Each structure stands twice: as structure tokens, then as C-alpha cells.
């Protein structure tokens, strides 16, 4: 099956800093989503982005499907950005979202 | 417009008991997925269902676990004779058309086996 690797695995930022999270996948995908799992365990949809670039406030994402990666940018980070960020992909041959390994982000004052 | 609803949010069971987890998909969604998350780990696929059909159960343990999505009512994930290793967060997601549209997750059920 498809392999989905995220980097870095852990990240500590001071409030106000910017960061880039990466998601690499081993096969062609039809769909890619980014999620934020907050410290209470809730999964929050950030982006549905099979290709191209999208922006939502301080967050933006870019997927380059032909090169099999996606990037999530967080600007001017806030403590509420803390948690785990997952990317998840659909392939044409599988009927499910396969999750990446996650990036654990901690934003400190 | 209610999202994906899961209940209960927290469930405590003694070893050997049965656990029933419920998931009501978003309105208009007919595809349901169950995932399990062990502490400090990622989400692992368990099963994918459409109304009255199991489409993909490749992630389901062979014994004690079953899932259904009846014509009427929520999807149910059933775990019989629970063991301590079943303690985890169980998430349900729904979508309108798999692969082409966004999937949304419920808040999860945290199962603790004592």
C-alpha cells in the first residue's frame, strides 16, 4: 500500500514564528487532506487539496501531485496551533484515507 | 448543519464486556469509515461501509470486531469481549463520494478497558 511520511516528526516554535510541514507519499493520489488534531483529540479539517495552493488565514497549503508531496505553511504561530498535524491521502486503488505519521507541534510563549 | 456525530464520547468497559460505538454521518453522506488511534500514534484504517454494505474491512481485526451501517440509523462498531489492548480512540468519518470529496471526522469515542 501507499506510504505517507511526514516531517519533521516534532517541532517546537516560539509564538510568532513561521513553519513548514512536509508530507511525502509514495504513489499517485486522487485526494489529499490536512488535519489538525488539537490537544483534546479533536480532528479539524484544514485543507482539502489534491493539487495546487490554498490559503486560509495564517495557514496555507501546496500540493505538487506530480512530485508526490504536499506542504503546510503556518505563519505567525500561536499557542492554539499546538497539536498534531496529519496529512491523509486517497489513492485510486484504495477506498480509504491513509494517514501520515504526523508532525507534533508545540508553540511556546 | 450537524457534523459527524459519535457517541458515547467516553466509554469504560471491563475486560470481557462488549463495547458498542455509534456514528451518525453528516447529512447526505452515505460513506462511513472507522479508524483507530492508539495513544501517541496515528490513525489506522479499520473499515469502510456504505449503506448496508461493507466495502473494505482490510483493517479490521479478524476476531471480536464487527461493523454495520444499516439502512436506517447510525453505523455501529462492535467490539466483543474487550481486552486492555482495545483501549484507544475510535474515530468515524463520512464523505459524500470517496476519493473525490472531503471527508469529515467525528469527535471520537475514547474506549478504556479496565
Residue A51, chain B, CB below 8 Å: the answer is no
Residue B3, chain A, CB below 8 Å: the answer is no
Assess contact for B81 and B31: CB atoms under 8 A: no
Can you tell me the distance from the alpha carbon of A22 to that of B83, in angstroms, rounded to the nearest whole number?
36
* Mean pLDDT for chain B overall: 93
Assess contact for A57 and A15: CB atoms under 8 A: no
Nearest chain A residue to B41, by CA: A101
Q: Which residues of B touch A33 (CB under 8 A)?
A: 102-103
Residues 69-88 in A contacting B (C-alpha not used; CB under 8 Å): 86, 88
Assess contact for B70 and B24: CB atoms under 8 A: no
**What is the per-residue pLDDT for B37?**
97
Q: Find cell 439502512 and name the residue.
A: B71
Nearest chain B residue to A42, by CA: B107
CB distance A97–B103 less than 8 Å?
yes
Nearest chain A residue to B33, by CA: A96
DSSP state of A82: -
Q: Which residues of A touch B44 (CB under 8 A)?
A: 99
Nearest CB among B59, B102, B110 relative to A33 is that of B102
CB distance B91–A43 less than 8 Å?
yes
pLDDT tens-digit profile, chain B (114 residues) = 579 999 999 999 999 999 999 999 999 899 999 999 998 889 999 999 998 899 999 999 999 999 999 999 999 999 999 999 999 999 999 998 776 788 999 999 999 999
Summarised one tens digit per residue, pLDDT across range A43-69 is 999 999 999 999 999 999 999 999 999
- In the three-class reduction of DSSP (H, G, I as helix; E, B as strand; rest coil), residue A79 is classed as helix
- The per-residue DSSP string of chain B comes to ----EEE-SEEEE-TT--EEEEEEPPTT--EEEEEEE-TTS-EEEEEEEETTEEEE-TTS-SSSEEEE--SSS-EEEEE-S--GGG-EEEEEEEESSTTTS--EE---EEEEE-
Distance from CA of B73 to the nearest CA of A (A): 22
- In the three-class reduction of DSSP (H, G, I as helix; E, B as strand; rest coil), residue A10 is classed as strand
Q: Find cell 513561521 and name the residue.
A: A18
Can you tell me the distance from the alpha carbon of A66 to that of A41, in angstroms, rounded to the nearest whole number?
32
**What is the per-residue pLDDT for A7?**
97
Question: CB-based contacts of A81: which residues, under 8 Å, 6+ apart?
Answer: A36, A74, A105, A107
Can you tell me the distance from the alpha carbon of A17 to that of A60, in angstroms, rounded to the nearest whole number?
15
Can you tell me the distance from the alpha carbon of B44 to that of A69, in angstroms, rounded to the nearest whole number?
21
Can you tell me the distance from the alpha carbon of B77 to that of B46, in angstroms, rounded to the nearest whole number?
10
Nearest chain B residue to A92, by CA: B99
Q: Which residues of B touch A99 (CB under 8 A)?
A: 35, 42-45
Amino acid at each position: 500500500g501507499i506510504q505517507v511520511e511526514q516531517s519533521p516528526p516534532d517541532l517546537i516554535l516560539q509564538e510568532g514564528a513561521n513553519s513548514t510541514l512536509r508530507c511525502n507519499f509514495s504513489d499517485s493520489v486522487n485526494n489529499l487532506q490536512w488535519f489538525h488534531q488539537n490537544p483534546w483529540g479533536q480532528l479539524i479539517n484544514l485543507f482539502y487539496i489534491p493539487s495546487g495552493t490554498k490559503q486560509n488565514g495564517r495557514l496555507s497549503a501546496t500540493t505538487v501531485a506530480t512530485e508526490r508531496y504536499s506542504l503546510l505553511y503556518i505563519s505567525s504561530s500561536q499557542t492554539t496551533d499546538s497539536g498534531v498535524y496529519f496529512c491523509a491521502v486517497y489513492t485510486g486503488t484504495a477506498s480509504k484515507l491513509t494517514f501520515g505519521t504526523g508532525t507534533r507541534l508545540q508553540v511556546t510563549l | 448543519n450537524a457534523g459527524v456525530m459519535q457517541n458515547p464520547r467516553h466509554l469504560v468497559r471491563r475486560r470481557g464486556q462488549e463495547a458498542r460505538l455509534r456514528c451518525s454521518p453528516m447529512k447526505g453522506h452515505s460513506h462511513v469509515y472507522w479508524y483507530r488511534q492508539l495513544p501517541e500514534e496515528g490513525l489506522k484504517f479499520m473499515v469502510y461501509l456504505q449503506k448496508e454494505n461493507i466495502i473494505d474491512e482490510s483493517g479490521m481485526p479478524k476476531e471480536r470486531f464487527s461493523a454495520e451501517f444499516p439502512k436506517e440509523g447510525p453505523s455501529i462498531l462492535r467490539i466483543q469481549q474487550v481486552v486492555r489492548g482495545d483501549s484507544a480512540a475510535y474515530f468515524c468519518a463520512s464523505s459524500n463520494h470517496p476519493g473525490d470529496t472531503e471527508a469529515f471526522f467525528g469527535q471520537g469515542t475514547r474506549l478504556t478497558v479496565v
